[in-house]
Amino acid sequence: MSSVIYPVTNLKSVEQINIVRGKGVYVYDDAGNQYLEGLSGLWCSALGYGNEELIEAISSQLHTLSYSHLFGGRTHPAVMELSDRLAAMVPLKDAKIFFSNSGSEANDSQIKMLRYYANAIGKPEKKKIIALDRGYHGVTVAAAALTGLPVMHSHFDLPVDALGILRADCPHYFRGRVGAETEEEFVARLLTNLQQLIHDEGADTIAAFIAEPLMGAGGVIVSPEGYLPQVQALLNENDIFLWADEVICGFGRTGNDFGSTTMGIQPDIMSLAKQLSSAYVPISAAVIPGAMYEAMIEQSAEVGVFGHGYTYTGHPVACAAALKALEIYERDELFARAAKQGAYMQSRLQEFAGHELVGEVRGKGLIGAIELVANKETGQAFTDGRVGAFAQRACQDEGLLLRAVAGNSVAFCPPLIIEEAQIDEMIEKFARALDASYEFAKKEKLIT
């Protein structure tokens, strides 16, 4: 075993598979086995592996300017071009972009800028943030506090209360409905609860409400139609920012430019990462409106600097990779292609709806999930994650890399370049793994 401390891993069970190369939608291990990468790595490898245009853009930038920082007014062409490109894409007025290296850092930076802004406009009490149960927003101390998944909190003693993080209901109808509640009644109840939370805490103490347009690591949860637009209307009434965490959903994943477009909302601030560079070089972006930026300028002048930034903020090589990725997305019309291929993938996933082990099939575009349940008739959940873990390994044995999330939901998120025949291959391999998982659940007496 090597000296690596592995992230989001059972530290008693490391180095299960050693991936050594990739090409297109496939990766290969050190034994030469081929795997269809059904989760785009970690929701991020939109253009697959070995894209020569991206490699050339990265190589060219390395030859031209391998590194330059942005501290103290220094800049470089790639970061200016990328910021302007993104500002023209996002649905924010006069958008300003702060670059970092991961989705976690983008969200951490947003928290700091929201606090900076509250002080700038003379509302120092307006700093609380509402986050959803089962939402995922990263693993830095502040971003992990936003995250609503217990496994990301256990043993870390995160300062959730100190940061003013409030928790709202997860908008998952399949798991969250009460009795015979309809989707409309479910949404109405969640909105009532949110309204009460805002009332109890005081709208003048709440800066933002953060949500993924489509929740990723919490189980690929698609909220009921109308939920997010109604949330936005409530936030607008109370002068609370809608913060879209687009780290997974951004850049075509749901079949549109952003998940916000798919879900019918217009965010006030946004966090971007993952597919921004198709994961070829780490980069992320915290996007804020021009009015928020303008309010922060005088404060920075008083102190002498805007006291936030990273060594690798706006790294020129990362910016070059992102610029080329955005160029390819636009030129090859990959967002529209993702919508078309996504509709096909969703139709194929629905074929599993009748399987005895399947409780729900859900998704949008080229992201989806199949939730495995102990009792199909009642939707009863398994008491632990053994079946999901078995299913993930069974997929791997079939030559398919997927991921069990939120215990027993198997997530699908293939590269945007996937072909229809490769979707069929993914479905066929998953079908065999699902049948094996059902036999495992029966053998272990986990089916009720």
Average pLDDT value for residue range 184-211? 98
pLDDT digits (tens, 9 = 90+) for 367-412: 999 999 999 999 999 999 999 999 999 999 999 999 999 999 999 9
- In whole angstroms, give the CA distance from residue 135 to residue 217: 7
**Contacts of 351 by beta carbon, 8 Å cutoff, 6+ apart:** 427
Q: Give the confidence band of 226 by pLDDT, cuts at 50, 70, 90.
A: very high
Find tokens 């966090």 and name the residue: 271
Average pLDDT value for residue range 20-49? 98
Nearest C-alpha neighbor of 123 from the set 198, 210, 204: 204
Q: Give the confidence band of 1 by pLDDT, cuts at 50, 70, 90.
A: confident
pLDDT of res. 352: 98
Across the chain, mean pLDDT equals 97
Residue pair 277/247 in contact (Cβ under 8 Å)? The answer is: no
Find tokens 């029966």 and name the residue: 442
Amino acid identity, residue 374?
A
- In whole angstroms, give the CA distance from residue 286 to residue 272: 6
Query: Is the pLDDT at 138 greater than 90, yes or no?
Result: yes
Most distant CA pair in the chain, distance: 68
Residue pair 369/448 in contact (Cβ under 8 Å)? The answer is: no
Average pLDDT value for residue range 4-32? 96
- In whole angstroms, give the CA distance from residue 396 to residue 413: 15
In 274-357, where does DSSP find H-type helix? 290-303, 316-331, 334-349
Q: Which CATH number fits domain 54-331: 3.40.1390.10, 3.10.20.30, 3.20.20.80, 3.40.640.10?
A: 3.40.640.10
Residue pair 249/52 in contact (Cβ under 8 Å)? The answer is: no
3: phi then psi, degrees, rounded to nearest 5: -90, 10
Q: Give the confidence band of 5 by pLDDT, cuts at 50, 70, 90.
A: very high
Query: Is the pLDDT at 92 greater than 90, yes or no?
Result: yes
Residue pair 405/216 in contact (Cβ under 8 Å)? The answer is: yes
Average pLDDT value for residue range 126-134? 98
> What residues form DSSP beta bridges with 292?
none
pLDDT of res. 11: 92
DSSP annotation string for 348-367: HHGGGTTSTTEEEEEEETTE
- In whole angstroms, give the CA distance from residue 373 to residue 408: 8
For the chain, give every domain's residue range.
Answer: 54-331, 333-443
Residue pair 143/136 in contact (Cβ under 8 Å)? The answer is: no
pLDDT digits (tens, 9 = 90+) for 286-313: 999 999 999 999 999 999 999 999 999 9
Per-residue burial over 8-44, b = 16 or more CB atoms within 10 Å of its CB, e = otherwise: eeeeeeeeeeeeeebebbbbbeeeeeebbbbbbbbbb
- In whole angstroms, give the CA distance from residue 389 to residue 384: 10
Identify how many contiguous H helices and E strands the chain contains and give both numbers. Answer: 14, 15
Question: 292, exposed or middle or buried, with CB in 10 Å at 0-12, 13-18, 19+?
Answer: buried
Q: Which CATH number fits domain 333-443: 3.40.50.11540, 2.40.440.10, 3.30.43.10, 3.90.1150.10?
A: 3.90.1150.10
pLDDT digits (tens, 9 = 90+) for 64-77: 999 999 999 999 99
pLDDT digits (tens, 9 = 90+) for 245-289: 999 999 999 999 999 999 999 999 999 999 999 999 999 999 999
Q: Give the confidence band of 116 by pLDDT, cuts at 50, 70, 90.
A: very high
pLDDT digits (tens, 9 = 90+) for 339-365: 999 999 999 999 999 999 999 999 999
What is the DSSP secondary structure assignment for residue 70, as one 8-state letter? -
- Paired tokens of 140: 């830095």
pTM: 0.97
pLDDT of res. 362: 98
351: phi then psi, degrees, rounded to nearest 5: -65, -20
